[in-house]
Structure 1
Amino acid sequence: MAEPYLKYRTRFTSSLKNELVKEFDELAKVTRIPKSRLLDEAIEDLLKKHKKSLKE
């Protein structure tokens, strides 16, 4: 089966601590927000937090 074309996204592989998976799954379920969107938000927050050190 062919991989679907992702025009505005880039696929990558990562892993999570086992203890985070259940809570992450529950958050996505309760909020009805896709995990990919939740990850986008988390990465954006992380980049803002570390923006100052990235400039140095």
Structure 2
Amino acid sequence: MARKDLKNRVPIGSAIDKELYQWLKEYSNQSSVPISKLLDKAIQLLKESTVK
């Protein structure tokens, strides 16, 4: 069931490589950018590189 307090976002569940997650968490802490925003950016870059 979707969270009603999220208006412009969709919660997802996924499993990723442990080392990638550790790097992502550390980068998020160092840069003060939330992991969800970093994932948004990564998905956007993937989309731009694959959709013509």
* TM bracket (short chain): 0.7 to 0.9
Structure 1, unmatched stretches of 5+, are none
- C-alpha RMSD over aligned residues: 1.2
Moved over 3 A (4+): none
Aligned to 2:24: 24
Choose 1 or 2 for highest CA Rg.
1
TM-score norm. by structure 1 comes to 0.81
The CA distance in 2 between the partners of 1:22 and 1:11, in whole Å, is 20
The CA distance in 2 between the partners of 1:4 and 1:22, in whole Å, is 30
Indicate how the Cα distance of structure 1 residues 6 and 22 shifts in structure 2: closer, same or farther if over 3 A, else same.
same
- Count matched residues: 50
The CA distance in 2 between the partners of 1:36 and 1:17, in whole Å, is 16
The CA distance in 2 between the partners of 1:4 and 1:26, in whole Å, is 30
